[in-house]
Amino acid sequence: MPLKKRSFSLSGHKTSVALEAEFWAVIDSEVLKSGKSLAAFVGEIDAGRGARPLAGALRLHALAAVSRRA
C-alpha cells in the first residue's frame, strides 16, 4: 500500500506525515465531525502522543475511531 503524505503546521512548524490512504480516510472523517481544521485536529493528537511518533499516534487514533463506530 503506498503512503499518502500530507503537510501542515503544528505549533508554528511545518511538518508532514505519511499514512496509508485508508487511515487518512478515517482521519478526514473525524476532522469533518470535529469541525476543526486538519492542523488543529492533528495538533490535539500531537499534544497527547508522548514519545510515540506522530504517524503512529494518528494510526492508533484512526483505529480507535473505527472501533467506536462498530
Give the pTM.
0.91
- For 17-44, b/e burial (b = at least 16 CB within 10 A) is bebeeebbebbeebbeeeeeeebebbee
The answer to the question of residue 63 being in a domain is yes
Neighbours of 65 (CB within 10 A): 14
Q: What pLDDT was estimated at residue 11?
A: 87
Inside any domain, residue 14: no
Residue 26 lies in a domain: yes
Q: In which band, very low, low, confident or very high, does the pLDDT at 58 lie, cut at 50, 70 and 90?
A: very high
Residues 3-24 have pLDDT tens digits of 999 999 998 999 999 999 999 9
- Domain-embedded: residue 65: yes
Total of domains in the chain:
1
- Residue 61: which domain range? 20-40+51-70
Q: In this structure, is residue 8 part of a structural domain?
A: no
pLDDT of residue 69: 87
Q: Helix, strand or coil for residue 2?
A: coil
Angle, vertex CA 23, rays to CA 68 and CA 57, nearest 5: 75
